[in-house]
Amino acid sequence: MSIRRKLLLIHIVIFFSLLLTQFVSSRYLILQQFSQLEADDVKENTNRGINAISNEVKSLNEKLYDWSVWDDSYQFMSDHNQQFIDANLVEQGLVGLRINFMLFIDLKGNLFESKAVDLQSMKAISLDDSLKGIISNNPDLAKFSGVKDNHIGLIRISDRIVLLAARPIVTSDEQGPIRGTLIMGKNLDEQELAGIQSSNLLSLKLVNVNNISDDEFKLANSYLIENPNGVFINPIDDNKIAGYTYLRDLNNKPLMIIRTDIERNVFQHGLISGYLNVGSIIIIGLIFGVMLLVLVEKTISQRLEKLVTYAEDMTRHPSETGKIEVGGKDEISRVAVSLNSMVDKLKEYSSKLQQTNLELESKNQDLEAVNQAMTGREQQMMEQKTEIVRLNQEASKNQPTSTQSDQPVSAQ
């Protein structure tokens, strides 16, 4: 595997390691922080829902104050005059106040006078038995610690939830003695809830704690039973998240579960932030990879290729190979210097070898001449020896037979 490929492989491994690390950190660390911010937003929005309903009750109490701290009401509880009824207890008055009923209770807890209307039809309706017996079912509503005391909140009357306020009836300068109790109430129905949502830019849903059918509210109720003052947070989908908490009555007992919905803008921002981080890592990694490849190509690969080609040429044609220049002051340039030095040494050794070969060739020629001379002389001696043998043989044939033996002629 070439260095270029090895470096590319190392870069890919490092790049994907960083990408995985960034993804995990974005998904589980950064997004967790955004989720906590989102949870805080849900809790804040849920409290806004509670406060919106509480503000309606407070508004009702302010309207009640004008009627309960009033000389005309105070006198009415004394003489039950028809003039007061005709002038004040009329349909238009209650519709203008946006209340469903008004109850005057005497000091014995009995219903002294009342008026009820349907806000949708804006017509008077008869008072149902549950309202007539409101004091008998809730005697504390007519008990006050002083002329400025009041009872406000939510109450279940029969099958409906009512925003209710009760105050003692006193004079316009808040003087007693108390002559009775004045109660104002407004049904917390769909129309009223829609008005609260519209004026407060909220998305609300109310469910009676005694009649829970939806699984999400059952889950929320299970959580709120263990955490009565908490807020149950439930992501509906990727675009919406809901918060659930108890809506309590006058006695601070759970009356309803209120659900508030908000868009998951914080969560979406967290996702986008994570995607942008991962995307930036990808872009930076690609840019760095291209730069790395270019730098490796320019500073390493091309110079190494030049050295390899030079070494191959040196192997094939050592005597014709010149010096190589790769530039720089790094290890590759040091290798080039070493190769150049090696080539110089090789050329020097080659020159000496050629000189030695020439000397050996000259000596070899001298030896050849000597050898040829020796070979010629040896041949002459062989021929002389052969001639001597022949002469001896001829001498032996020409010698007469005789008992005297003559010695043969020997070669000197």
Instruction: Please say whether the beta carbons of 156 and 137 come within 8 A.
Output: no
Average pLDDT, the chain: 85
- When the candidates are 3.30.160.60, 3.30.450.20, 3.30.230.30, 2.60.120.10, the CATH number that belongs to 69-192 is 3.30.450.20
DSSP for 153-209, please give it. EEEEETTEEEEEEEEE-B-TTS-S----EEEEEEE--HHHHHHHHHHHT--EEEEET
pTM above 0.85, yes or no: no
Instruction: Please say whether the beta carbons of 194 and 92 come within 8 A.
Output: no
Six-digit token string for 39: 């949870």
Rounded to 5 degrees, what angle do the CA atoms 74, 76, 80 make? 150
Distances (CA, A) of 88 to 61, 91, 133: 18, 9, 23
Q: Model confidence over 228-286: pLDDT tens digits?
A: 999 999 998 888 999 999 999 998 999 999 999 999 887 777 777 777 777 777 788 78
Q: Is 234 helix (H, G, I), strand (E, B) or coil?
A: strand
Q: Model confidence over 87-124: pLDDT tens digits?
A: 999 999 999 999 999 999 999 999 999 999 999 999 99
Q: What is the rounded distance in angstroms from the CA atom of residue 104 to the CA atom of residue 138?
A: 15
pLDDT of residue 25: 67
The residue ranking higher by pLDDT, 370 or 228, is 228
In 3D space, the residue among 295, 299, 344, 294 whose CA is nearest the CA of residue 318 turns out to be: 344
Locate the domains of the chain by residue range.
Answer: 69-192, 203-263
Distances (CA, A) of 278 to 10, 191, 268, 286, 287: 20, 48, 15, 12, 14
Rounded to 5 degrees, what angle do the CA atoms 356, 360, 363 make? 140
Q: What is the rounded distance in angstroms from the CA atom of residue 41 to the CA atom of residue 39?
A: 5
pLDDT of residue 123: 94
Q: What is the rounded distance in angstroms from the CA atom of residue 230 to the CA atom of residue 223?
A: 8
Q: Model confidence over 197-240: pLDDT tens digits?
A: 999 989 999 999 988 999 999 999 999 999 999 999 999 888 89
Q: What is the rounded distance in angstroms from the CA atom of residue 199 to the CA atom of residue 192?
A: 11
pLDDT of residue 295: 78
Instruction: Please say whether the beta carbons of 129 and 150 come within 8 A.
Output: no
Buried b (16+ CB within 10 A) or exposed e, 102-122: bbbbbeebebbbbbbbebeee
Instruction: Please say whether the beta carbons of 241 and 43 come within 8 A.
Output: no
